Amino acid sequence: MSSQHVGEVIDRILPAIHGYTIGVRVGEGVLEFNFVDRELEVRRLLDPGEGVIVGGWVTVLYGPKGCGKTELFRALGSTIASLGDVDVDIVIVGSEREAWRVERLYAPRSLAEVARGVIESLGGSIEVQDGGSWEVKGFVPLDKLVSLLAGYIAYRLGRRRNAIIVVDEVRADSPDRLSEFRGWLEGYSNQLRYDDHRFWRDKGGSIAVVALTSDAMVKEVRSRVGPKVNWAHMWNLNPESLGELARRLNIDVDVNTLWRLAGGNPRALVRIKVDGLKKWVEEEVLAVVQELLDEARRELGERLWDELRVAVENVDEADYSLKQLMLKHNIILYTTGYKVSELPRERWVGERYAYQIPAYYHALKLIVEKANAKVTVEELLEATR
């Protein structure tokens, strides 16, 4: 946004972004609702003075599963493209869940041919879908696509604009995935900063890359890569925005109950709308907690109950082994780093770690109080009233 005042541009984006429609496929139909809130996040992400998304840098933006990272950038990309005169292009590259390859891609019309050319140069092809989204066919490696795309923008594009390449939902949930992610960050951060961006900056533009991840094990990557990249943290919706989304979804559950269980997680609210509260608690909360307990029991043995009690009283002080298991199962998340969202002041939020949704905290608290790993849906709902 070199030629425009950042604050004025953001003030134009904010009202427009709330007209963006999110569609969730439900059976044979689609559940649609308008984008909610995220005004603080938009300001902190788009203002270069905040130091989150900066030309020449890779930023890792991490947060709870389903907190809305992907939808935020989709909404931003669509809104900016619709305004027409904002000099920012957002390209979203989606990776396949089980491989380090590209599965889908979103690009504004201004970069459509560039993106197509890069994909085809790597032996892939595209199938156009609605809303500027493409399905990528063939094995197109994620790292090579991002690298070539930035290079094409820098060296072959004549327009002096600002490009943000978003790598959607990077998997970092196993040693191999962590190694891939770490290796890419370490190698590519230097290439972007000292080659592609520097050349494009001299022509009046900028290139930044944002990698989105929900995997709590990303803490291990951060400890290795450190300041070579930017680290930023996004959280769920605040209570007021949770209430607004619940109203738009027409969820027949008390808003306070939703907050105590879902903690403002948009994906959780959608699942509650689709499946009902009890089914969501059973399948998305108690089943996950049970998986944690089964593994923790094998590792901690008789220490399990004492360590669980500590984790409930203060998650920051939890035993290292238990904390690693809780990270692995995405029950808690590392929360240090620049916060683009304000974290709530709740018992389930510590200084360095937080439960991704409060239902996990309440389930473990109830298990400790009962000294019994078996908790029913009804017991958990009663305990959170």
Amino acid at site 383: A
Helix (H) or strand (E) holding 290: helix 287-300
Q: What is the mean pLDDT of the chain?
A: 90
List, in order of start, the domains of the chain with CATH numbers: 6-233 (3.40.50), 253-383 (no CATH)
- 23: which residues sit within 8 A by CB, 6+ positions away? 30, 31, 32
Check pLDDT > 60 for residue 20: yes
* pLDDT tens sequence across 95-143: 876 678 899 999 888 888 888 899 999 999 988 766 668 889 989 998 8
According to the model, what pLDDT value does residue 2 have? 45
| Three-class DSSP category at 378 | helix
Check pLDDT > 70 for residue 296: yes
Check pLDDT > 80 for residue 280: yes
Q: Is the torsion defined by CA of 250, 254, 255, 258 positive or negative?
A: negative
Q: Please state, in angstroms and rounded to a whole number, the distance separating the CA atoms of residues 327 and 316.
A: 12
* pLDDT tens sequence across 31-81: 889 999 999 999 999 998 899 999 999 999 999 999 999 999 999 999 998
Report the DSSP pairing between strands 125-128 and 338-339. unpaired
Lowest mean pLDDT among 178-192, 193-207, 305-319, 339-353: 193-207
Q: Please state, in angstroms and rounded to a whole number, the distance separating the CA atoms of residues 22 and 66.
A: 13
Check pLDDT > 80 for residue 268: yes
According to the model, what pLDDT value does residue 159 have? 64
According to the model, what pLDDT value does residue 222 have? 85
Helix (H) or strand (E) holding 312: helix 304-313
Two tokens, residue 147: 């690298």
Percent of the chain with pLDDT over 70: 97
According to the model, what pLDDT value does residue 122 have? 94
What's the pTM?
0.92
According to the model, what pLDDT value does residue 98 have? 66
Q: Please state, in angstroms and rounded to a whole number, the distance separating the CA atoms of residues 242 and 255.
A: 8
According to the model, what pLDDT value does residue 43 have? 95
Q: Please state, in angstroms and rounded to a whole number, the distance separating the CA atoms of residues 349 and 144.
A: 38
Find where tokens 């970092």 sit.
172
- Residue 3: pLDDT band with limits 50, 70, 90: very low
Find where tokens 């209430």 sit.
243
Find where tokens 């390449």 sit.
165
Check pLDDT > 50 for residue 91: yes
| Three-class DSSP category at 231 | strand
Distances (CA, A) of 238 to 38, 47, 261, 335: 9, 21, 13, 16
Lowest mean pLDDT among 82-96, 212-226, 237-251, 271-285: 212-226
Q: Please state, in angstroms and rounded to a whole number, the distance separating the CA atoms of residues 87 and 200.
A: 14
* pLDDT tens sequence across 152-209: 888 877 667 788 999 998 877 777 888 888 889 998 998 888 887 778 777 778 889 9
Please, where are the H alpha helices in 132-265?
Answer: 142-156, 175-191, 197-202, 218-225, 239-249, 255-262
- Residue 275: pLDDT band with limits 50, 70, 90: very high
According to the model, what pLDDT value does residue 253 have? 94
According to the model, what pLDDT value does residue 176 have? 80
Check pLDDT > 60 for residue 290: yes
